């Protein structure tokens, strides 16, 4: 085109250029659609699993530890729904009218119990070197996806906000995971340990059965979550630390529970290995999950862009240029664990510490966080 050309030849080349430009636009549109489709397919690929994780479905999970034994009551046991009604602690009917099914009002001592559980869990975990956080409860859909959850999938547990790219969080794991998104952390800052309080929102799509009655499975609840960013070689050790903290917390309340090494079929996409704690719930006459602890290795950090720069073994290798070192960066490992999922803890406490006269004892560790309250008694008429 820059040389001398016959007008007819030049015009033909101009037309060819226009055609190429239009074709390129169409190809770029196809590329955007294909890239999005490829990204969605790639997000369906789960993390690898720990070589010691039991293989199979949930029933293949292995018992790691059993703490305590079921209490012998010596009287007819009530479930938390009956106890809550007699002690005037919940109102599910009004909440169903106001918000829909699987919502609830907490009343009277149940309010103190929720606040007490939250402050107790935050205080106990903070003592162990965790930084307390209160997180945003609305996050971008992209952050939800990068943490390994599927806001756009069928049977999603995520509430999406119409007309925006935002979602309500199902766990504080998501906003805490994003707190260092697209960052390079110095090795000296690791491990970073957080304990976060938030409300959580879940659709509970597909949930059914007797275990969904009352507080066991609800759309909105309060939770205290632990989260760790660490070096890859340390994540197995911190996984053991997290499950140890959970076990210490629940044992200190006098609960009977078991810890399970969960089988591969029960692991969510991000989890490399997961330990669940299931507490005995007399009203349900079964064990119910009250917490879990997951090692997600670098599954989330790769998506979130969270790296760390190892300290150089030879200080002379460090470069002072713009503060960047010559040592290659690595992805951190992320871990999460539930310190206290409030509704299920309320179920456990009411059902396990009920008395024959209809009252419920408050475990001693919680009393300082409930104004010294020792017992919840039936209201006098």
pLDDT tens column, 231-260: 999 999 999 999 999 999 999 999 999 999
pLDDT tens column, 127-159: 999 999 999 999 999 999 899 887 766 677 899
Mean pLDDT of 160-171: 93
CA pseudo-torsion sign 235, 237, 240, 244: negative
Walk across the sheet containing 330-331 and list its strands.
183-186, 306-309, 330-331
Residue 191 pLDDT class (50, 70, 90 cuts)? very high
More confident residue, 10 or 230: 230
Interatomic CA distance for residues 147 and 173, integer angstroms:
8
More confident residue, 121 or 17: 121
Residue 323: its pLDDT value, please?
A: 47
Among the listed residues 303, 307, 309, 344, the single catalytic one is 344
Residue 327 pLDDT class (50, 70, 90 cuts)? confident
Residue 322: its pLDDT value, please?
A: 44
Residue 321 pLDDT class (50, 70, 90 cuts)? very low
Interatomic CA distance for residues 199 and 242, integer angstroms:
21
Q: In the block, which residue shows the tokens 């009917």?
A: 93
144's CB contacts (< 8 A; 6+ apart) are: 151, 158, 167, 169, 174
Is the confidence at residue 31, as pLDDT, over 80?
yes
Among the listed residues 202, 273, 303, 307, the single catalytic one is 202
Q: Which residues pair with 258 in a beta bridge?
A: 66, 278
More confident residue, 114 or 268: 114
Active site annotation includes 99: no
Active site annotation includes 367: no
| Phi, psi of 338, deg, nearest 5 | -85, 120
Active site annotation includes 101: no
Residue 208: its pLDDT value, please?
A: 57
Among the listed residues 61, 217, 241, 273, the single catalytic one is 217
Residue 206: its pLDDT value, please?
A: 60
Mean pLDDT of 310-321: 60
More confident residue, 315 or 212: 212
Interatomic CA distance for residues 135 and 239, integer angstroms:
22
Query: Chain-centre distance of CA 317, in angstroms?
Result: 39
Active site annotation includes 58: no
Is the confidence at residue 317, as pLDDT, over 70?
no
Among the listed residues 61, 222, 292, 294, the single catalytic one is 292
Could you tell me what percent of the chain has a pLDDT over 70? 93
Among the listed residues 187, 289, 359, 367, the single catalytic one is 289
> Can you say which residues are annotated as belonging to the binding site for ATP?
202-204, 218-221, 289-292
> Can you say which residues are annotated as belonging to the binding site?
171, 202-204, 218-221, 225, 289-292, 336
Crossing angle of helices 342-352/109-126, nearest 10°?
Answer: 110
Is the confidence at residue 209, as pLDDT, over 70?
no
Residue 8: its pLDDT value, please?
A: 79
- H-state helical runs in the chain: 7-42, 80-86, 92-98, 109-126, 141-146, 173-177, 235-252, 299-304, 342-352
Among the ranges given (27-31, 148-152, 223-227, 258-262), the one the predictor scored with the smallest mean pLDDT = 148-152
pLDDT tens column, 334-379: 999 999 999 999 999 999 999 999 999 999 999 999 999 999 999 7
Active site annotation includes 356: no
Is the confidence at residue 326, as pLDDT, over 90?
no
Q: What letters, b where the CB count within 10 A reaches 16 and e where it falls short, cover 27-63? A: eeeeeeeeeeeeeeeebeeebebbeebbeeeeeebee
CB 49 within 8 A of CB 299: no
């Amino acid at each position: 085109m820059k040389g001398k050309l016959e007008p007819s030849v030049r015009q033909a080349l101009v037309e060819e250029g226009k055609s190429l430009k239009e074709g390129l636009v169409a190809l770029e549109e196809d590329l955007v659609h294909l890239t999005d489709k490829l990204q969605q397919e790639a997000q369906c690929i789960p993390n690898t699993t720990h070589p010691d994780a039991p293989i199979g479905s949930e029933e293949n999970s292995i018992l790691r530890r059993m703490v305590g034994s079921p209490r012998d009551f010596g009287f007819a046991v009530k479930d938390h729904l009956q106890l809550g009604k007699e002690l005037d602690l919940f109102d599910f009917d009004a909440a169903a009218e106001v918000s829909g099914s699987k919502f609830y009002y907490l009343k009277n001592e149940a309010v103190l119990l929720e606040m007490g559980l939250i402050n107790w869990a935050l205080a106990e975990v903070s003592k162990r070197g965790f930084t307390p956080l209160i997180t945003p409860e609305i996050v971008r859909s992209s952050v939800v996806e990068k943490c390994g959850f599927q806001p756009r999938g069928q049977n999603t547990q995520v509430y999406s906000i119409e007309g925006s790219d935002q979602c309500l969080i199902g766990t504080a794991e998501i906003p805490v995971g994003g707190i260092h998104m697209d960052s390079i952390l110095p090795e000296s800052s690791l491990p970073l340990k957080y304990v976060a309080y938030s409300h959580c929102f879940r659709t509970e799509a597909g949930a059914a059965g007797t275990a969904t009655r009352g507080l066991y499975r609800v759309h909105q609840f309060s939770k205290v979550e632990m989260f760790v960013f660490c070096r890859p070689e340390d994540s197995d050790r911190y996984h053991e630390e997290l499950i140890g903290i959970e076990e210490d917390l629940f044992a200190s309340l006098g609960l009977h529970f078991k810890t399970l090494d969960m089988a591969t079929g029960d692991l969510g996409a991000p989890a490399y290995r997961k330990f669940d704690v299931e507490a005995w719930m007399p009203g349900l006459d079964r064990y119910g999950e009250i917490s879990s602890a997951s090692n997600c290795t670098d599954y989330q950090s790769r998506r979130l862009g969270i790296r760390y720069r190892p300290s150089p073994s030879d200080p002379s290798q460090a470069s002072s240029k713009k503060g960047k070192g010559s040592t290659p960066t690595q992805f951190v490992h992320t871990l999460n664990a539930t310190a206290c999922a409030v509704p299920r803890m309320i179920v456990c406490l009411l059902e396990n510490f009920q008395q024959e006269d209809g009252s419920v004892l408050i475990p001693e560790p919680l009393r300082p966080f409930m104004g010294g309250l020792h017992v919840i008694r039936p209201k006098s008429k």
